[in-house]
Chains A and B, each alone.
Chain A
Amino acid sequence: MKYLPFVVLFFLIILESSVTTLPLVLLFLIFYTVFTRSESVFFIAFFAGLLLDILMLRPLGVTSIFFLVIIFLILLYENKFEIGTMYFVMIATFVMSFLYLIFFPVSQIYLILPTCVIFSMIFFMMIKKINTPKLKAY
């Protein structure tokens, strides 16, 4: 159970690199950051970015840089904004996905962005049902 998020992340990396243009790994990292608030997310983002770069034949390190900056910004402002709310997750997903799709262009961005926001809403509601101490406050 402890390693389940990493297994999920591995399969999301495989899915994003092979069959879909949805930024699944970015969505995972946003959720992981918001719900754990742990510095270990930097470690995960670094290696997830490297793996994505290898599998998608991008210059090595470029996706890691993007993920690290995004997560740093979210964690930096965790006291200024209530980052554990659905509204923040939706807005963060929209803005971060938009930036991601600008840096790593794909077509049909007008379909991908709303899909990402809808996915983030659904996953937030699913995860909120899990009764953990960190989530009780929300």
Chain B
Amino acid sequence: MRKRRSSLVIIFLIFFLLSVIFFAIFGSRSGKAPTGIIEVVTSPFQGFFVNMTGVMGGVSQNQEIVFLREENLRLRVKDSEIKKIQREISALRDQFETTKIPSVKLLPAQIIGRRGFVPGVSVPEAIIINKGTIDNVKVGQVIIYKDVVLGQISKVSTHQASVRLLFDESSSLTAMTSNSSANGILKGKGKGKMLLENVVLSEKLEKEDSVVTKGDVVNSGTGFPPDLVIGKITSVDKKQSALFQTAEVKSQIDMAKIVEVFVIVEAL
């Protein structure tokens, strides 16, 4: 018995020390560990299961509802583009300001990780895509799907990247409404929810109004480009006694269903 216990302790200590060594060398150096070959080998398996859950989740939906949702999303994006062009025309007419039409370079990526309690049904916590440092993907780059912002890259390795979705509790960006150009801070509240906060009381927030990014691209080219659709306002909380008003924002994209996204690798 003593012999077994001591062998147990020795084996445990060997592997524990190995783990600590790995952690000490590679733990804090994201993207530097030699993990590329493992990511390449396992990526097809991950993609297969993610695709399966996307199909399983979609089977239960009425085809007409799916079509109407897609059409709704397409019209919202178009509406946002039209309003952007109207603002530019107005600015040119007034000759008080010039607006620079942003140009973006997109990199397609497949979702190979979309973890939720019930695969294909639960809103995922974060997603993992099959592009990494080898594809010039960097922390801070934005992920979109059909011109709708989904989130921002938070971690990168050689062949994979983790995306922090907009409704993650640590997510925060400047945003504005499409109709009234009311400015605010969009914060994630978890479980698929987002709140547009810090909107002054004098601004007009309406239900069904689209919320778009204000734009905060940094010198390195990462960050949120302006005028990308985030979602639509589903409810407004306005109290005269408060300093600011808030609005609940819902994304038009069903994160449990999509399998391909795009990385904005250059936003100018």
Q: Which residue of B lies closest to A37 (CB)?
A: B4
B114 at the A/B interface (Cβ < 8 Å)? yes
A106 at the A/B interface (Cβ < 8 Å)? yes
Q: Are B190 and A107 in contact (CB under 8 A)?
A: yes
A121 at the A/B interface (Cβ < 8 Å)? no
The total of chain B residues at the interface (CB under 8 A) is: 51
Q: Are A57 and B49 in contact (CB under 8 A)?
A: no
Count of chain A to chain B residue pairs whose CB atoms are closer than 8 Å in the complex = 133
Q: Which residue of A lies closest to B23 (CB)?
A: A61
Q: Are B115 and A20 in contact (CB under 8 A)?
A: yes
Selected interface stretch from B37-45, B92-100, B226-234: B37-45
A17 at the A/B interface (Cβ < 8 Å)? yes
Selected interface stretch from B5-13, B178-186, B196-204: B5-13
- Residues of chain A lying within 8 A (CB to CB) of residue B74: none
Within 8 A of A (CB), among B4-36: 5, 7-8, 11-12, 14-16, 18-28, 30, 33, 35
Q: CA separation between A13 and B38, bound complex, in Å? A: 12
Q: CA separation between A106 and B8, bound complex, in Å? A: 32
Q: Which residue of A lies closest to B156 (CB)?
A: A57
Within 8 A of B (CB), among A66-87: 68-69, 71-72, 75-76, 79
Within 8 A of B (CB), among A33-75: 39, 42-43, 45-46, 49-51, 54-57, 59-62, 64-65, 68-69, 71-72, 75
B interface residues (Cβ-Cβ under 8 A, vs A) = 1, 5, 7-8, 11-12, 14-16, 18-28, 30, 33, 35, 38-39, 42, 45-47, 49-50, 53, 112-117, 119-120, 122, 125, 128, 155-157, 160-162, 190-191
Q: Can you report 27 A-B residue pairs in the complex whose CB atoms are below 8 A from each other?
A: A15-B49, A17-B46, A17-B128, A18-B114, A18-B115, A19-B53, A19-B115, A20-B116, A20-B119, A22-B117, A39-B7, A42-B15, A46-B18, A50-B22, A51-B38, A57-B30, A59-B27, A60-B26, A61-B21, A62-B23, A64-B15, A64-B22, A65-B19, A71-B12, A72-B12, A106-B125, A111-B117
A interface residues (Cβ-Cβ under 8 A, vs B) = 11, 14-22, 39, 42-43, 45-46, 49-51, 54-57, 59-62, 64-65, 68-69, 71-72, 75-76, 79, 106-108, 111-112, 115
